[in-house]
Amino acid sequence: MSIHGKTLAELAVGLRNKEFSSVELTKLFLERMEASQRSLNAFVSITRESALAAAAAADSRLAAGRAGPLTGVPIVHKDIFCTEGIRTTCGSRMLDNFVAPYDATVVAKLKAAGTVLLGKTNMDEFAMGSSNETSYYGPVRNPWNSDLVPGGSSGGSAAAVGARLAPAATGTDTGGSIRQPAALCGVTGIKPTYGRVSRYGMIAFASSMDQAGVFGAGAEDIALVLSAMAGFDPRDSTSVDKPVPDYAASLNNPLKGLKIGLVKEFFEGLDPQNEKRVRDALAVYQKLGATLKEVSLPNLPLSVPAYYVVAPAECSSNLARFDGVRYGHRAENPRDLLDLYKRSRGEGFGAEVKRRIMTGTYVLSAGYFDAYYLQAQKVRRLIANDFDKAFTEVDVLMGPTTPTPAFALGAKTEDPITMYLNDIYTIGANLAGVPAISVPCGFIQDLPVGLQIIGPQFAEDRLLNVAHAYQRETDWHRRVPTAYK
């Protein structure tokens, strides 16, 4: 097998066994990244020089026998994470010239673990989008078919791993922004529990839901990276002070007796081909000794409307910091301070970001706060209660990750509601703050689709165990698009 076709876990072993050096891996993946830019546009920045220096340092540690499990492994970061001395754009004209003065905690932790940063991935502007078409740097394309979207908002990260341009990538997930593109690009992606991974240095969108996670070919790869990036951070006031288990240690636990809940609402009106892929995966779990039970989360159908009040409200507040004064885009020749604010923001933000800021401003404004914002927060409570109740009956919930496989570029840009409904199966986990993973579970007309597995808070170890057990029985996660083999 080609070296780039190996999983991150296999590459890590190969590095320790001296089958190849970190510099060799780094050059190989940098070349693949550079060669793919015209067709996929998955990167905003490629950091060749600093990557080669980091790889050489990793090789010294490997030679000296001072290597950890991730030493010398190349990775890429979503361009929402601040990287010291490296441009950090968040996919926006607003931050086109922004060079982060410090590292996000996720970046610092993965650097300390010895990973080699190859570049920053393209994304929907400020992580607002489900197709990667809102990026100021142009859309990312799907490696399985370049006429199609990769999903979003972490579309560059998902496409990069799907095309094996990098063995793993970080992402963020506020309403499905890791799981949905993972499903559409045929890779595995986890959104951890709210508060599990530090958000320090991760540019804020909706603070009560934002969470960092990771993409890899399989659950085993994710286990290695997540073990290094999760954990308490005093610099993030919503970070949870709870020990991080070694996620790799529990991957092979037997599944006998596992109780899987099938979310009734996920299957109502589901496309029959999509349902077939999910049911086939469930049959694999039954063979492994799991039992299935239908459960209902009756308030789940209100998750998309609840999200499209809460998330824009928080976004309108978070993005108030972009004022053209301290950093970011500034309009030319302002007449006065108000003109400076308005034109800097009007020019610096793209159409979807402005739409969300205005929606948020409206639902928070006097006279509408109770009817929209408070009502959405109450519905959020009902949805979270539904999850709590379900987890008293079953160990994990399963269903599809997305309603359909990847769709054509431009197909949903005219109508924001159609675009928002892509996240119909993923948003519930963000509102409830529970972890969820998308696992490749087959193809519909040569396009990958994902199985979503949702667990109770802080059950990342269980999700990775359950995902890995399936991936030992199937090879969907090892499939690579022909053009990138």
Partner 1 sequence: MTLERKHIETIAHLARLELKESEVAVYQESLSRILDFVGELNRANTQGVTPMAHPLPGLSQRLRADEPAESDRHELYQSNAPQVEAGLYLVPKVLE
Contact between 87 and partner 1 by CB under 8 A: the answer reads: no
**35 vs 358 by CB, closer to partner 1:** 358
**177 vs 359 by CB, closer to partner 1:** 359
CA distance 4 to 376: 45
* Interacting residues with partner 1 between 388 and 447 (CB under 8 A): 416-417, 420, 431-434
Rounded least distance, CB 241 to partner 1, Å = 9
- Indicate which single residue of 257, 268, 272, 336 sits in contact with partner 1 (rule: CB under 8 A): 336
Which amino acid would we find at residue 253?
Answer: N
**339 vs 475 by CB, closer to partner 1:** 339
21 in catalytic set: no
Rounded least distance, CB 306 to partner 1, Å = 6
Rounded least distance, CB 469 to partner 1, Å = 27
Q: What is the 3-state secondary structure (H, E, C) of the chain?
A: CCCCCCCHHHHHHHHHCCCCCHHHHHHHHHHHHHHHHHHHCCEEEECHHHHHHHHHHHHHHHHCCCCCCCCCCEEEEECCECECCEECCCCCHHHCCCECCCCCHHHHHHHHCCCEEEEEECCCHHHCCCCCCCCCCCCCCECCECCECCCCCCHHHHHHHHCCCCCEEEEECCCCCCHHHHHHHCCEEEECCCCCECCCCECCCCCCCCCEEEEECCHHHHHHHHHHHECCCCCCCCCCCCCCCCCCCCCCCCCCCCEEEEEHHHHCCCCHHHHHHHHHHHHHHHHCCCEEEEECCCCHHHHHHHHHHHHHHHHHHHHHHCCCCCCCCCCCCCCCHHHHHHHHHHHHCCHHHHHHHHHHHHHHCCCCHHHHHHHHHHHHHHHHHHHHHHHHHCCEEEEECCCCCCCECCCCCCCHHHHHHHHCCCHHHHHHCCCEEEEEEEEECCEEEEEEEECCCCCHHHHHHHHHHHHHHCCHHHCCCHHHC
**26 vs 211 by CB, closer to partner 1:** 211
Rounded least distance, CB 483 to partner 1, Å = 36
Q: Are 183 and 436 in contact (CB under 8 A)?
A: no
CA distance 109 to 111: 5
78 in catalytic set: yes
- Indicate which single residue of 27, 275, 334, 404 sits in contact with partner 1 (rule: CB under 8 A): 334
Binding mask 149-188 for partner 1 (x = CB under 8 A): ----------------------------------------
Contact between 468 and partner 1 by CB under 8 A: the answer reads: no
Binding residue count for partner 1, defined by CB under 8 A? 72
CA distance 22 to 15: 7
Rounded least distance, CB 105 to partner 1, Å = 14
* Interacting residues with partner 1 between 33 and 72 (CB under 8 A): none
Residue 401 in tokens? 């990750």
Contact between 305 and partner 1 by CB under 8 A: the answer reads: yes
Residue 165 in tokens? 């341009």
Catalytic residue among 177, 227, 303, 344: 177
- Indicate which single residue of 109, 199, 345, 477 sits in contact with partner 1 (rule: CB under 8 A): 345
Catalytic residue among 78, 109, 120, 412: 78
Rounded least distance, CB 230 to partner 1, Å = 15
Catalytic residue among 153, 227, 303, 438: 153
CA distance 264 to 270: 11
**202 vs 376 by CB, closer to partner 1:** 376
**256 vs 370 by CB, closer to partner 1:** 370
Contact between 249 and partner 1 by CB under 8 A: the answer reads: no
Binding region for partner 1 (CB under 8 A) out of 28-36, 140-148, 277-285, 334-342: 334-342
Rounded least distance, CB 154 to partner 1, Å = 20
Residue 339, number of CB atoms within 10 A of its CB:
12
Cα–Cα distances in angstroms (integers) from residue 277 to residues 213, 270, 356, 387, in the given order: 25, 11, 34, 24
Contact between 97 and partner 1 by CB under 8 A: the answer reads: yes
**1 vs 417 by CB, closer to partner 1:** 417
Rounded least distance, CB 110 to partner 1, Å = 22
Contact between 377 and partner 1 by CB under 8 A: the answer reads: yes
177 in catalytic set: yes
- Indicate which single residue of 200, 349, 407, 425 sits in contact with partner 1 (rule: CB under 8 A): 349
- Indicate which single residue of 249, 283, 374, 483 sits in contact with partner 1 (rule: CB under 8 A): 374
Contact between 27 and partner 1 by CB under 8 A: the answer reads: no
- Indicate which single residue of 292, 340, 411, 444 sits in contact with partner 1 (rule: CB under 8 A): 340
CA distance 206 to 312: 7
Binding mask 226-245 for partner 1 (x = CB under 8 A): --------x--xx-x-----
Contact between 326 and partner 1 by CB under 8 A: the answer reads: yes
**123 vs 434 by CB, closer to partner 1:** 434
Active-site annotation, residues: 78, 153, 177
